Amino acid sequence: MNNNSRFIVVDHDAHRAGKHQDLRFKIPGSANWASFAVRKGIPLEPGVRVLATRTHDHSETEALFLGEIPAGEYGGGILKKFDDGSCKIMKMSSPHIALEFKGRKIKGIYHLVNIGVAKGTYREKAYLLFKSKEKKT
């Protein structure tokens, strides 16, 4: 399996969900992109852990869409690109996803660890998102 992929992070000012970032990356061997809503934003420094909620997989058109979704539609609000680039999927299983991002702002190895504590329909879709510490050479 080819583990090379692409990613995009979108600033999403949603009518219902409020301001947050959406982290999306292409799933190798699939036409879909995995998508996570991150209320506090993607951490740029190691040691910061934030909640990321897995949402439905997106088509490429949905994943890369920038602009305005009308109020009343799913995801209604304004979407602006925060960062994008290439990524390498180092591990992808339900309890742990590890990715190496190579963007302009988001760089390094990140982990999504399933914690399964959120309420409602996304109970099993709650993850902790954090950046690995840089290795000293």
Show me where the domains of the chain are located: 4-131
pLDDT in tens, 26-72: 998 889 999 999 999 999 999 899 999 999 899 999 898 888 887 77
Q: Indicate the residue type of 28.
A: P
Q: Quick: pLDDT tens for 73-107.
A: 777 778 899 999 999 999 988 889 999 999 999 99
pTM: 0.87
Q: How many residues does the chain have?
A: 137
Listed residue (108, 62, 64, 106) closest to 85, CA to CA:
106
Structure tokens at 5: 């992929």
